[in-house]
């Protein structure tokens, strides 16, 4: 079992690299089955209807290459709540196969840009191919970690993410980095797995041992406190569907109205997931 932050991060990186490779290996068979399935290696393998491509409507699926849908590993649809506008600059944290970046790029149009950030070379290669297949030229994919976003301060209008923050080994750093890169008044629209407040970290780890995407999840109050400490207001953590006892897919929304508060960031448990979403 991974015990250090570096080991946890490598475990996640390896899992997603394997998922990206599996999409390529099995693409011909899956496409022959008319895209059947929910991605490879994601939580959707264990919870039909709660993860993956089922969370995108038919119109959105029609905007995406079939191969992109095979790489759908998320637990929500952040583009459905982000209310993206023409000309905006969007950042997707943990962009995976690029689905949400491609959809965002189409929403913001030729005068906008959509960045995808991922630490996995194999996923970045898959995402770039998917963007080419979708004929999207305002999508930009960057290699990096979500705890250290390689973009300037106050350069982003909207941050989205799809079931990735629960995998971070330093969640306060992620929340602070989101506030740093957002322009004043910028907003977040995040899909994630969130625990009810009564579910202890130990109980989350027990559930994660057989469900996945669970052990590293924050509770609702931890999420709210972390966002407030990082400099967000108008915070909403709304449960959308249950994925395990006391654990839910959730939509997280907030607006940046001030600079991040460096002191007093809450301490939250590092992700101990085996890789998911």
* 266 domain residue, yes or no: no
CB atoms < 10 A from the CB of 200, how many?
13
Question: What is the rounded distance in angstroms from the CA atom of residue 50 to the CA atom of residue 211?
Answer: 12
Q: What per-residue confidence (pLDDT) applies to 257?
A: 83
Element of type H or E holding 251? strand 247-256
240 token code pair: 């959308």
Mean pLDDT of the region 242-247: 91
Global pTM reads 0.79
Do 235 and 218 touch, CB atoms closer than 8 A? no
* 57 domain residue, yes or no: yes
Q: What per-residue confidence (pLDDT) applies to 48?
A: 41
Q: What per-residue confidence (pLDDT) applies to 64?
A: 57
* 277 domain residue, yes or no: no
CATH code of 171's domain: 3.40.50.150
Q: How confident is the model at residue 260 (pLDDT cuts 50, 70, 90)?
A: very low
Lowest mean pLDDT among 21-30, 113-122, 145-154, 231-240: 21-30
Angle in degrees, CA 127, 83, 276, rounded to 5: 40
DSSP sequence for 208-231: HTTSSS-TTPEEHHHHHHHHHHHT
90: β partners: 114, 158
Lowest mean pLDDT among 12-16, 30-34, 112-116, 201-205: 30-34
Q: What per-residue confidence (pLDDT) applies to 128?
A: 94
Read off the pLDDT of residues 68-110 as tens digits, 9 standing for 90 and up: 555 555 667 788 778 899 999 999 999 988 999 999 999 999 9
Provide Rg for the chain, Cα atoms: 17
Q: Which residue has the tokens 């910028």?
A: 186
Lowest mean pLDDT among 13-17, 115-119, 267-271: 267-271
241 token code pair: 């569907």
Domain that holds residue 96: 5-256
* 264 domain residue, yes or no: no
Bigger pLDDT: 76 or 218?
Answer: 218
* 235 domain residue, yes or no: yes
Read off the pLDDT of residues 117-126 as tens digits, 9 standing for 90 and up: 999 998 899 9
Q: How many domains does the chain have?
A: 1
Is the pLDDT assigned to residue 196 strictly greater than 90? yes
* 270 domain residue, yes or no: no
DSSP 136: -
| Three-state DSSP class for residue 195 | strand
Bigger pLDDT: 266 or 179?
Answer: 179
Phi-psi category of residue 185: left, alpha or beta, with phi > 0 → left and psi -120 to 50 → alpha: left
Burial class (CB in 10 A: 0-12, 13-18, 19+), 48: exposed
Burial class (CB in 10 A: 0-12, 13-18, 19+), 18: middle
Q: How confident is the model at residue 4 (pLDDT cuts 50, 70, 90)?
A: confident
């Amino acid at each position: 079992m991974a015990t250090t932050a570096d080991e946890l991060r490598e475990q996640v990186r390896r899992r997603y690299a394997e998922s990206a490779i599996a999409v390529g290996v099995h693409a011909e068979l899956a496409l022959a089955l008319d895209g059947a399935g929910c991605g490879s290696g994601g939580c959707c393998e264990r919870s039909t209807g709660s993860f993956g491509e089922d969370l995108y409507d038919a119109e959105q699926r029609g905007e995406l290459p079939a191969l992109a849908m095979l790489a759908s590993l998320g637990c929500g649809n952040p583009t459905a709540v982000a209310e993206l506008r023409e000309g905006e600059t969007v950042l997707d944290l943990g962009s995976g196969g690029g689905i949400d970046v491609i959809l965002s790029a189409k929403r913001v149009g030729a005068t906008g840009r959509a960045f995808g950030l991922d630490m996995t070379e194999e996923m970045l290669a898959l995402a770039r191919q998917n963007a080419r297949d979708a004929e999207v030229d305002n999508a930009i994919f960057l290699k990096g970690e979500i705890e250290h976003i390689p973009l300037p301060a106050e350069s982003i209008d909207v941050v989205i993410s799809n079931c990735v923050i629960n995998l971070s080994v330093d969640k306060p750093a992620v929340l602070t980095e989101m506030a740093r890169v957002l322009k004043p008044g910028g907003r977040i629209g995040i899909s994630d797995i969130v625990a009810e407040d009564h579910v202890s970290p130990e109980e989350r780890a027990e559930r994660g041992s057989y469900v996945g995407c669970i052990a590293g999840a924050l509770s609702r109050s931890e999420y709210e406190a972390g966002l407030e400490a990082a400099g967000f207001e108008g915070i909403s953590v709304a449960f959308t569907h249950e994925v395990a006892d006391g654990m839910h897919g959730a939509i997280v929304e907030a607006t940046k109205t001030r600079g991040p508060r460096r002191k007093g960031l809450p301490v939250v448990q590092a992700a101990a997931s085996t890789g998911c979403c």
